[in-house]
Amino acid sequence: MENNNNENIENMVKAVFEEERNSDAILPPPYMKTRILARFREKKQKTGGVLMLWKQIALSGAALAIVIVFGLRFFADDFIRANLNTPLAVKVEIGELKKANVAYAEIVLPDGVVFYSKKFPELNKESSLVLDWEVAVRNGHLPFIIEGIGEGNKVIVLKFYDLSNRLIAEKTLKVSFDKKRS
């Protein structure tokens, strides 16, 4: 008896919602899609169009020579050594920037260094990437993968901006790419 009563109530509630749904009583305003797409274009313009790819870049599955974890305060003055033509995973600890209202970060690569992505190999054509902070930062780190394709000392620059596009901080990562030793 109780179950029948509950089932009746359930059906009655669903019927009320269904009636309203079928009547199209609640419809999105016609301009909503336009506004969303305008924001989409604005965001794309600001971030150079490659933002959407970032979440898809996988750290696993690549032949990673080294995973470097860098604290922002402790970027070494000396060059770290890495093999040429081998993906290098970098995880930048963002500790001191957690409270700094960073909106996005820009990673600028010198000649001879490219971004590495198995899934999106076309990223290697980009000399810089702009990353939405909320999207890119994971577990207190900003991760990215690079590959040295030219021998020698290279300086990778990381820039951190706020919502007003003001530069909050800038750090450098120095890597010396050498041919693989046998």
Single out the residue of 87, 90, 92 nearest to residue 118, CA to CA: 87
Token representation of residue 13? 């509630």
Of the two residues 1 and 26, which places its CB atom closer to another protein in the complex? 26
CB of 159 to another protein, least distance (A): 20
If the CB atoms of residues 55 and 98 are measured against another protein, the closer one turns out to be 55
* Nearest residue (CB) to another protein, 65 versus 131: 131
CB of 55 to another protein, least distance (A): 7
Both tokens of residue 55?
A: 């979440």
| Nearest distance in Å: CB 25, another protein | 8
Interatomic CA distance for residues 106 and 69, integer angstroms: 18
Residue closer to another protein (CB basis): 13 or 155: 13
Q: Least Å distance between CB 81 and another protein?
A: 35
**Nearer to another protein by C-beta: 50 or 158?**
50
Residues that bind another protein (CB under 8 A): 6, 9-10, 12-14, 16-17, 20-21, 26-29, 32-33, 35-37, 39-41, 43-44, 49-56, 132, 134-135
CB of 13 to another protein, least distance (A): 5
- Residue 103 near residue 163, CB atoms below 8 Å: yes
Residue whose C-alpha is closest to residue 145's, from 35, 64, 75: 64
H/E stretch holding 119 reads none
Nearest to 144 by CA among 176, 170, 114: 114
Distance CA 98, CA 94 (A): 6
For the record, the structure tokens of 1 come out as 């008896």
